[in-house]
Structure 1
């Protein structure tokens, strides 16, 4: 009887362990900080990784193969010798392409204001209803943003609920005084990325994320029938307000995807490639150099 109870508890624990949404890899760097020890850095890295991988951010159960691959590269620029760290981070996430071994990047965002306080040996507590600490808020915000983008790639506007969860983290964190949470903190920060994601002006971009991945990339494994849905999705993007194209959401997204889009659409015939090139040049002039490959035979 005791053995059966132990087995049941192990199964429950294993099920809970496998239910999390993120498969996060975390790397902490401090190349210019001489007063921080490697054991301290390693312990903090593990604490951040455990926070991302062991907390539940949704009410859904994810199978191990469904967990979202993501990377957090955090560079510490200074440490006050106590609990205060100034840092910046590069956050990436990707999703698999159906019936292939290829992973397509969804997010590649730089956060220059990743400052936080952390006492050696402590844990990072999780709450989506209260502001606990800046490191908790930062990691939770990006967890919801990563999940939101992943959901958008599998269903139209599927990430709205999670973008709203990220918005709630922003609202809770604004009173902390830490940078990146407010509109006045600059045009390329967490506040504006979230504002863009929830703004109806950018609904065509979110629909494009779905059409590009689900109707496009996921259909390319066996044949090229997914190419034209991508071209058609680009046509819908031309309806976006041209004055908003420099905003952080389209800017970050196309900087992430420009090279991949070029490689995928290079399979089109010459006429369709030029059509795609002309649309991309209008939609994303910042990366026009990457799209030049579409003009080549």
Structure 2
């Protein structure tokens, strides 16, 4: 009987060890806040790290190597009161590319509406049905956004359950006094990010996320020309979204993560393919036009 108990404990321990999904690097920077207790920010960083990495966000079991790599950078600019701070949060998602050492940035988003209360040594508690704690609401929201984007790159709309959880947090935060959750505050905030992602009118964005990564980048080590052609094809889905609504937030989110990579992918392309891609990019992302000129200037094949 004792052996059975020991075995069950061992199995439970292994399952717990590998249950968590995220391998999230967390940095809290408060250099602009003068005269504050530096230890408080180190404790905050440790607490946020534990919240992101030790919480079970899905029903799936991940080994260490399968964990989703992501980064969170919180810059605190102002100390509003003893336990209240404001600043920004930057969220980055990194995905490995099959059969290669290359890692692609799927998400690189900066949210300037970060405001929270934090009391040192007080546990971070998240409640899915309330908006009492803006810090854990923001962290959980972005945890689900990270999961949704990652899953979408491996299967068509595979991230839907996690995007829906992020949307539920946004909905529950409509009465929050902090900014970032409401439609009327901005066209580029947490409300509009999840609205755009789940809006069927922009479903081609999520189609692009799957095709760009799974049928494009993942093929390039074995079939570079086919993989690159599929990446080019996926940009047509972005073009479709642009033509429906040029100012939609998710287009900025896409190109903030992908502009430099697109240049690298198509710098080694055929002239006609480069020209087709340049035509799309100049239409949908003119703000990065100087970057894309490097595609036209490259020798290619």
TM-score under structure 1 normalisation? 0.94
Alignment of 1:199-278 (within 5 A): 199-224=199-224, 225-242=226-243, 244-278=245-279
Structure 1 residue 120: deviation in Å?
A: 1.2
Distance 1:247 1:237, change over 3 A: closer
Q: Using the alignment, how far apart are the partners of 1:80 and 1:255 within structure 2?
A: 30
Alignment of 1:148-163 (within 5 A): 148-163=148-163
**1:71 aligned counterpart, secondary structure:** strand
Equivalent residues of 1:281, 1:288 under 8 A apart = yes
Q: Using the alignment, how far apart are the partners of 2:33 and 2:242 within structure 1?
A: 44
Larger deviation: 235-244 or 36-45? 235-244
Show the counterpart of 1:168.
168
Distance 1:80 1:279, change over 3 A: closer
**1:61 aligned counterpart, secondary structure:** coil
Show the counterpart of 1:189.
189
Larger deviation: 118-127 or 46-55? 118-127
CA RMSD in angstroms, aligned pairs only: 1.7
Larger deviation: 20-29 or 123-132? 123-132
Distance 1:120 1:237, change over 3 A: closer
Equivalent residues of 2:77, 2:85 under 8 A apart = yes
Q: Using the alignment, how far apart are the partners of 1:163 and 1:118 within structure 2?
A: 26
**2:113 aligned counterpart, secondary structure:** coil
User: 1:58-93, CA deviations, whole angstroms, 9 ceiling, x for partnerless residues?
Assistant: 111122111111111101112245221112111111
Distance 1:46 1:6, change over 3 A: farther
Q: Using the alignment, how far apart are the partners of 1:119 and 1:17 within structure 2?
A: 28
**1:179 aligned counterpart, secondary structure:** coil
User: 1:141-176, CA deviations, whole angstroms, 9 ceiling, x for partnerless residues?
Assistant: 000101111111111111122111101000111112
Distance 1:231 1:38, change over 3 A: same
How many equivalent residue pairs? 297
TM-score under structure 2 normalisation? 0.93
Q: Using the alignment, how far apart are the partners of 1:87 and 1:291 within structure 2?
A: 32
Distance 1:227 1:243, change over 3 A: same
Q: Using the alignment, how far apart are the partners of 1:211 and 1:277 within structure 2?
A: 19
Unaligned runs of 5+ in 1: none
Show the counterpart of 1:85.
85
Q: Using the alignment, how far apart are the partners of 1:291 and 1:137 within structure 2?
A: 37
Show the counterpart of 1:16.
16
Show the counterpart of 1:42.
42
Larger deviation: 193-202 or 135-144? 193-202
**1:175 aligned counterpart, secondary structure:** coil
Q: Using the alignment, how far apart are the partners of 1:46 and 1:2 within structure 2?
A: 37
Alignment of 1:135-146 (within 5 A): 135-146=135-146
Unaligned runs of 5+ in 2: none
Show the counterpart of 1:108.
108
Q: Using the alignment, how far apart are the partners of 1:44 and 1:233 within structure 2?
A: 40
Structure 1 residue 6: deviation in Å?
A: 4.5
Q: Using the alignment, how far apart are the partners of 1:140 and 1:109 within structure 2?
A: 15
Structure 1 residue 236: deviation in Å?
A: 3.6
Show the counterpart of 1:94.
94
Distance 1:190 1:246, change over 3 A: same
Larger deviation: 77-86 or 129-138? 77-86
Q: Using the alignment, how far apart are the partners of 1:232 and 1:87 within structure 2?
A: 38
Q: Using the alignment, how far apart are the partners of 1:207 and 1:59 within structure 2?
A: 24
